[in-house]
Amino acid sequence: MDLSPIGEAALIAREGRRLEAYKDSVGIWTIGVGHTAAAGAPTPRAGLRITSAECDAIFKRDVQKFVKTVRDAVPADLPQHAFDALVSLCFNIGPAAFLRSTVLRKLREGNRPAAAEAILMWSRPAVIIPRRQAEYDQFRTPYAETLPKARRNDVSRVAVAAPVAAALDPVKPTPVIEPVIVPPSTSWWGGLAGWLGGLFRSAPAAEAHAETKGGVSRA
């Protein structure tokens, strides 16, 4: 299993995408999509800038380490949305912390509801709580039901490419509406209307029959 396009979009939305180095919420120099010195080169520092292409390349390289950590550790039948949520968590707390987490322990015990709740335990600093809540929601909710948010208190959900969105919400065929056949009325008024209709329809035929007696007909 790999990180899905939806999972990638959610992770980037949570980490942000910065082309100039900055200090994160705990004071660690960061650049690109959550790239720190712990992930390898380049080492973020004051004044460091990268291009958009470099940012994408660094992220693609960085994220594979976290994908592999999660893939090798979790049950193989984990749904895609849950897998993506754990990659997001692992990316944020680091592989070592993920491997010793209650989240992973509960997963291996087969207790997925408890594993989801354990995601919320990673709540420091407090500014990270809305992200944890979004990862919790993502872990529990299939993408076919709803797309994830970067943070639970966000107004909108993560943006995904049009083909991905279309695959989640395919065009449904127009239903075939069967014609409604109204049965003949069995009421007294309905019977009378039917008798009168038949009478008026038979009158022209009777008249034509009378006029053709003797071999003469009207043109």
Verify whether residue 15 is a known catalytic residue: yes
Catalytic entry in 2, 8, 20, 24: 24
How far is residue 28 CA from its own chain's centroid?
Answer: 33
End-to-end CA distance of the chain: 85
Catalytic entry in 15, 62, 84, 135: 15
Burial class (CB in 10 A: 0-12, 13-18, 19+), 163: exposed
AA letter at 184: P
d(CA 3, CA 65): 11
- How many CB atoms lie under 10 A from the CB of residue 198? 10
d(CA 149, CA 104): 22
Show which residues are catalytic: 15, 24
